[in-house]
Amino acid sequence: MPLPEGGKVPWPPKEWQGAYAKYQMWAAWYSGDPNTLSAFYGGVGTPNLGGKAEGFFGTELSYSAESYDSPLWHRWMFWGKRAADPANRYRLHVPLASDIAQTSADHLFSEPPAFIIPEAREVNAPDDAKAIQQRLLDQADVAGIDKTLIEAAEISAALGGVYLRVTWDKQVAPDHPLLTAVHPDAAVPEISYGILLAVTFWRAIPGGGDTVYRHLERHEPGYIFHGLYKGTRKVLGWPVALSVLPETSSLLAGADLETQATSPIAAISTGLAGLTAAYVPNMQPNRSDRRSPLGRSDLDGVEGLMDALDEAMTSWMRDLRLGRARILVPEEMLDVKGKGQGAVFDADREVFTALNQLAGEGADGIQFVQPDIRTEHHLALTSNLIERIVQIAGYSPASFGMRGDGNVVTATEIAARERRSLTTRGKKATYWARPLTDMLERFLEIDTLLFGGPGVLRPQVQFADSVQTDMKEQAASLQLLSAAAAVSYDTRVRMLHPDWTDEQVAAEVGALQQEHGTAVPDLFQSGALP
């Protein structure tokens, strides 16, 4: 059976609980929620969470950190320390983890990549290739693939990887397939030699009380299987009919009738040789588990530094709170409002009655207290921590607004300042290219089978430049190359317009030759030569 038989088996499976523990930790930092961090490292939440360490997984609404043993070093963390009075404690969190993940996504997909059918860019390209190229662009725009990639890249940076899934739902999208992003803490993969062979996606649906329904969706070459299991927070439970819940009953529409009659598992034949899902690792190898085929998060190894940053920022803010200027006055200078109503001091009063007091107690008995605020020390510490964190994560401090003088800089200077970030971006693009190409090919196959698409050709993905080229610098470079007679018209046009087709380049070269009088006439066609 492609899906588990069910019963009193833990879910996620035991062999993946180590990876899920990592997802839980990175998700806590990525969330930017102090309650979640307190719950994860301290084992108890703030009053807003009811004192329970729950609510980390978006897939498992009732998941509890009690499933894993809390390491001893958690208690040494700033977020792992338990306050005597949690309701009155003050802890500041700097959401740097989410900023790192967002920066990674910005570097990859802030400018949408180009989806290219190579056959459509050839000179005298066949009409079917042109039709497929246009269909891919139109359907990708309608399906919102650009937005999906931005989401997927951010999740991948935070949790170490992401899954791309090609699916369809004619009730939601009647005229095009869908490319969706699935978070890694909602998947159980089967990977061999770095190749994804099959994957089971899942989601939890609360059933009231301790009951939890789990919808499992398994992707294999040629098939997609759906199953619904009724269990508890800790065990998967037994399969039940998909029609039990409205969230899954619609899946029966595309299932094989024979499968429906013999099993609660619904099988849908895709008719494709390839897998309708792909795994995109963020970066490899996985340092915390070198045997794991999964990717590593940008946050891997910097959790302690981010914890120290929060402690330093909390200390800084504590200095600011305690460093407020205060006025100390004798009790005799207070205006009593009445029995049981306390007393106040009017700081705007201009005339005070002279008091009998001992010498040396200060003028009129009023004292001004202004504690020192260690701004420079805290600023130096927090800046150093942020710089260390982003560098270990693989980025340049300039990508996060550090070391900037506010002056206008050229593209070359930006590339120099952000060299580390651009290097990391180039590595990540390498991991994205193959899985994204595979899913675009599956996208075209589903579009052809179910939505009347013109056909299938394997596309290519061309990532946009993260730093826009400076036109003045490019013009100067072309002028120097032209003066040295080092490049042809064709090369110059391609350097200036790398996204043009061969036909567009040929037309532009012809126009330039005509304009500069360098075009060579075809003597055979003109009749000058026999």
DSSP string for 356-386: ---TTS-GGG-EEE-----HHHHHHHHHHHH
Cβ partners under 8 Å of residue 240, min gap 6:
213, 228, 229, 230, 264
Residue corresponding to tokens 């009017």: 346
Domain ranges within the chain, ordered by starting residue: 472-530
* Contact status, residue 59 vs residue 45, Cβ threshold 8 Å: no
Share the mean pLDDT of the chain.
79
Q: What is residue 62's predicted lDDT score, i.e. its pLDDT?
A: 33
CA–CA separation, 41 and 21 (whole Å): 12
pLDDT band per the 50, 70, 90 thresholds, residue 67: very low
Nearest by Cα to 457 from 6, 115, 201? 115
End-to-end CA separation in angstroms for the chain:
76
Q: How would you label 504-514 residue by residue, b for 16+ Cβ within 10 Å and e otherwise?
A: ebeebbeeeee
Residue 55's pLDDT is 37
Residues in the chain: 530
Question: Which stretch of DSSP H or E encloses residue 251?
Answer: none
- Backbone torsions φ then ψ of 216, nearest 5 degrees: -105, 135
Flag the least confident range among 7-11, 38-42, 77-81, 413-417: 413-417
Kindly tell me if the per-residue pLDDT of 295 is higher than 90.
yes
The token pair that represents 4 in the structure block: 């588990």
Q: How much is the pLDDT for 231?
A: 92
The model's confidence at residue 290, banded by pLDDT at 50, 70 and 90, is confident
With a CB cutoff of 8 Å and minimum separation 6, the contacts of 526 are none
Tokens of 39: 């719950």
- Whether residue 343 contacts residue 330, with contact meaning beta carbons closer than 8 Å, is answered with no
Task: Report the predicted TM-score, pTM, of the whole model to 2 decimal places.
Answer: 0.78
pLDDT tens for residues 110-141?
Answer: 899 999 999 998 878 899 999 999 999 999 99
Give per-residue pLDDT as tens, 356-385.
Answer: 554 445 555 666 666 677 878 888 999 999
Question: What is the residue type of 21?
Answer: A
Task: Please report the pLDDT score of residue 302 as a whole number.
Answer: 93
| Distance from C-alpha of 495 to C-alpha of 510, rounded to nearest angstrom | 16
The tens digit of pLDDT for each residue in 78-96 reads 888 776 555 556 788 999 9
Q: Is residue 36 predicted with pLDDT exceeding 70? A: yes
3-state secondary structure 292-331: CCCCCCCCCCCHHHHHHHHHHHHHHHHHHHHCCCEEECCH
**Does position 187 have pLDDT exceeding 50, yes or no?**
yes
- Count of beta carbons in the 10 Å neighbourhood of residue 309: 23
Helix %, strand %, coil % for the chain, to 5? 45, 15, 40
